[in-house]
Structure 1
Amino acid sequence: MGEVTFRDRDRIVSTPAHGVALDCLAAGIEAALPANVVADAVSVADGTLRVAAVDGEAAEYDLDAYGSVRIVGAGKAADGVATALADRLGDPLCDRFAGGTVITDEPASPESTEPSGADRSLDVLPGDHPLPTERGVDHARRVVDAAAAAGPDDLVVAVVTGGASALLAVPADPIGVDDLRELTDALLACGASIDEINAVRKHCSAVKGGLLARTAAPATVVTLAVSDVVGDDLAVIGSGPTVPDPSTYDDALEVVERYGLDLPAAVRDHLRAGAAGERPETPESDDPAFDRARTVVVGNARTALDAAATAAGDRGYEGVVVADDVAGEARDAGREHAELAEACAAEDRPVSPPAVLLTGGETTVTLADGTGDSGSGGPNAELVASAGIELDREGSVVASVDTDGIDGASDAAGGIVDATTLHAPAARDALDRHDAAPLLAEADALLRTGPTGTNVNDLRAVVVEDETG
């Protein structure tokens, strides 16, 4: 993939600190692009497929031991990861590469692609995010069918990346697509955490929560995960389609009750039937579906953060990864990032300026009325707007983007501010209305990249110049 660029960069970069912030964000996103992740993590040598995890561990597979190898997957980066994988596998496997089927939200091409060296196609199918559609469900079923076609002597390479929870949408009977859409809309608007949301989605699905592994069994399954989840919980990444599920129908119902969700009758009846033991539970760790299944995290927030820190160092700044697990309300996180800039400037904490302080994670925006109605701009726009109100020192900049290029339900990736960007009363009013994006756009502070083809959660850079910066 090519370089990540911010549109209207020349107009946005009003100070050197702005330019450094954008350079660090771009470097972080680029490191997490599928082609780069696969190049770092996957190799084929002497007939052995080696998949290295971000923590240094590796899984190895003797390709000669399998009758065929096929790829399945879902997520915003699934097409890029799958295409890079197919290129790696095509030459060594030749006629034993059985192609693959993946679903993504923004396919580079809606048609099948022919990886170099392979004689079977990789079907890249369009899906819909964040709400499911008939088309998306039909295409998700094709992914399931491809996994089911594997035999006991086959190797299934599953690709699970950010966005897979929404894109791999196959409702459990008797839930319909409209029911699933209404459920998803309610979950996304209620302020529930991602693990709470996924506990419900797993128990309304025919594929999440380990059910894809059960479908592929007894084939050998290795999952390559690009994590968009704080802490890289395998059961949460993409709703864990190939890993054991620790949640239950009771857990799902507790989430429904906790947030007072008004659900379609088919969904509520299904969850209640499951809690009463009338529906099979999602598979736990002792299920035979996982006897020959393994998951390897090949990219995550640290992938982007470490690359961003390196970019800071290359520009003469001390690059420090402060946290990779920032969560909670975006507005609160914005204030905390402004405080981080102040601590660095005034107290040399955690380092002395000039510095770039980097954080990852995922913040949320809770709508006061619990509906999906709001203004324009997602958590990253809200975070920087909140930070902009608090910043009071020249030479400090806060920038925040979603690494997939889409901040919430907007067409922007995020925003960038310093102490002079926003007028505080107007910013507070915009935050109260969850309408930060227009305010940032008017101030030339809205960041746009377009869809990047990856997703390792949010990435933030706090640039603090020294007194002469």
Structure 2
Amino acid sequence: MMRNREALGSTPERDLALDCIEAGIAAADPVRAIDESVSLEENRLTIGEASYDLASYAEIVVLGGGNAGGRMASAIEGALGERIDRGRVVTDAPEKTERIEVLPGDHPVPSERGVASTRAMLELADEVGEETLAVVLVSGGGSALMPAPAEGISLSDLQEVTEALLASGAEIGEINAVRKHCSAFKGGGLARRAAPAQVVSLIVSDVIGNDLSTIASGPTAPDGTTFAEAQEVLSRYGIDPPEAIADRLDRGANGKVEETPDAGDPAFDHVDNHVIADGFTALEAVRDLADERGYEPLVLSSSVRGEAREAAKTHVAITEEVQRTGNPIEPPTVICSGGETTVTLRGDGTGGPNQEFALSASLELRESERIALASVDTDGIDGASDAAGAIVDGGTVSDPEFARAALADNDVYPYLEERDGLIETGPTGTNVNDLRVLVVTSPEASR
């Protein structure tokens, strides 16, 4: 899975941390998730505890997208085969499919080709009817990959406000509150476009708590946010949006533009949403591998958030406590966490939240023995870089002043690259958000 694995593993702790990262990403593979969640027996399609009589439908159409869209399309074809009549899915990690068109998009900033692909997918959604079973594939990254600018808003408007929000340190729910109110299909809009078809969404979640309205900006979920709240987000982070976006939000807040559909909207009368993989899926795999290797596992949380460099200090403090006192767990141990940290951009460098997390941690770990830390975004793309994240240990930083300067300028990528710390996977075909692994062994074990 890792393109540069041989350059990264130089100690038993680093090797195990990398093994755990690979196990976590593999566990969140949509092919595995769909295989475990979806079954077909004659005409009865079962997804979790729900079942659907395929004989009741004139056609099966597949829609949606996200980082995992390609893998999900391939997997659902494997499950349903020729029963699928047609489909269009948008992703940045394409897979070969027979009956579903896999269309290109870009992440984390929306692109012109993403607009064209999303338009084509929505045209198909508009064609479905009451006798259609619409299987919607939803995964993290869908907000950027499937841009559908609302009337009067241009792609450049969306790009500008997206880049500003990403740089502001805003949390994903706040970012998506704005995106949903600038879109023709987010925030329940796809459910509205596909009605009155039976919509069945298979969801790979990259959102803390699996908030359906936030994953890919909730195309098939009711939206609890409003135009006024979108305005508040921009105000809170001091973002001056393009005139077209400001005008739409103002008109919406004053009741002149229809609000996104809430839970009482009839668009959701025939919508079922199924989360088939999330951040805890990856953490469970890490926990199982650690136990198998003879290390005591500890899952800290699947909901870690906040500024990446500050969250890193807390994680290191826990490892220090473990080594020094055996509290809350005796070494050797593997400590893991998930969630989504953020970065407030103050410089003009290259990096991402997981790289900043790793470098900040390595400053705290200096000269620590028998501890390794790996942190990645499970989609394989950390920030706007081509790295998934990074791995560090007590020997990574020998020049703390340069490391601190790299953090201050948000330019950690070149620093970590020079020290063989970057983890490179390329797009993984899934997205269950961040995954962090800390391997802690007692220093006495090496003596």
Range class of TM-score, shorter chain: over 0.9
Matched, 1:347 2:325: yes
User: 1:147 Cα shift?
Assistant: 1.4
Matches within 5 A, 1:126-205: 126-205=104-183
Cα distance in 2 between the residues matched to 1:166 and 1:459: 21
Counterpart in the other structure of 1:125: 103
Cα distance in 1 between the residues matched to 2:44 and 2:325: 52
Matched, 1:266 2:244: yes
Counterpart in the other structure of 2:90: 103
User: 1:131 Cα shift?
Assistant: 1.9
Counterpart in the other structure of 1:451: 427
Q: Indicate the SS of the match to 1:468.
A: helix
Find 2:226's aligned residue among 229, 248, 256: 248
Counterpart in the other structure of 1:12: 8
Structure 2: give runs of 5+ residues left out of the alignment: none
The RMSD of aligned alpha carbons is 1.2
Counterpart in the other structure of 2:289: 311
Find 1:282's aligned residue among 260, 279, 289: 260
TM-score, normalised to structure 1, is 0.92
User: 1:414 Cα shift?
Assistant: 0.8
Cα distance in 1 between the residues matched to 2:180 and 2:192: 14
Letter in 1 for 2:369: E
Matched, 1:238 2:219: no
Matched, 1:465 2:441: yes
User: 1:106 Cα shift?
Assistant: 2.7
User: 1:7 Cα shift?
Assistant: 2.7
Structure 1: give runs of 5+ residues left out of the alignment: 53-57, 115-120
Counterpart in the other structure of 1:81: 72
Counterpart in the other structure of 1:387: 361
* Cα deviation 1:213-245 (Å, max 9, x = unaligned): 000000000111100011110110010010100
Matches within 5 A, 1:202-221: 202-221=180-199
Matched, 1:439 2:435: no
- The answer on whether the counterparts of 2:202 and 2:275 sit within 8 Å (CA) in structure 1 is yes
- The answer on whether the counterparts of 1:130 and 1:166 sit within 8 Å (CA) in structure 2 is yes
Matched, 1:34 2:54: no
Counterpart in the other structure of 1:48: 44
Q: Indicate the SS of the match to 1:342.
A: helix
Which stretch has the larger CA shift, 225-234 or 39-48?
A: 39-48
Cα distance in 1 between the residues matched to 2:425 and 2:113: 27
Q: Indicate the SS of the match to 1:86.
A: helix
* Cα deviation 1:278-333 (Å, max 9, x = unaligned): 00000010100000101110000011110111111121111221110110001001
Counterpart in the other structure of 1:70: 61
Counterpart in the other structure of 1:415: 390
User: 1:270 Cα shift?
Assistant: 0.7
User: 1:8 Cα shift?
Assistant: 2.8
Counterpart in the other structure of 1:398: 373
Cα distance in 2 between the residues matched to 1:344 and 1:47: 54
- The answer on whether the counterparts of 1:140 and 1:168 sit within 8 Å (CA) in structure 2 is yes
- The answer on whether the counterparts of 1:59 and 1:296 sit within 8 Å (CA) in structure 2 is no
Percent identity between the two aligned chains: 50
Counterpart in the other structure of 1:293: 271
* Cα deviation 1:377-410 (Å, max 9, x = unaligned): 1011110111111114200111101111111011
* Cα deviation 1:409-433 (Å, max 9, x = unaligned): 1111111111111122221111111
- The answer on whether the counterparts of 2:74 and 2:95 sit within 8 Å (CA) in structure 1 is no
Counterpart in the other structure of 1:117: none
Structure 1 residues 49, 280: closer, same or farther in 2, change over 3 A? same
TM-score, normalised to structure 2, is 0.97
